[in-house]
Amino acid sequence: MNQTGITQQYLLCILKENGKLPAFGMEKTIALSAAGVLELKRLWNISP
């Protein structure tokens, strides 16, 4: 089972080469949090 979720995929896209989140802007942090919430919603089959 080697599937990555949307949160993991997004995190891999935004990480810098040294493995840290970029310091500028809150947008990436907020988007990462939103991706986590959406993934949990999908896993728990919660309707809107």
Give the predicted TM-score (pTM) of the model: 0.60
Q: Is residue 11 part of a domain?
A: yes
Tokens found for residue 41: 């919603």
List Cα–Cα distances, 30 to 1, 7, 35, 43, 45, in angstroms: 28, 12, 9, 20, 22
Distance CA 41, CA 48 (A): 9
pLDDT tens per residue across span 26-35: 887 888 888 8
Q: Is residue 25 part of a domain?
A: yes
37-42 average pLDDT score = 85
Mean pLDDT of the chain: 78
15-37 average pLDDT score = 80
Q: Is pLDDT above 80 for 3?
A: no
Which pLDDT score, from 0 to 100, does residue 1 have? 47
Q: Is residue 18 part of a domain?
A: yes
Q: Is residue 1 part of a domain?
A: no
Q: Is residue 10 part of a domain?
A: yes
**Total of domains in the chain:** 1
Which domain does 22 fall in, by range?
A: 6-43
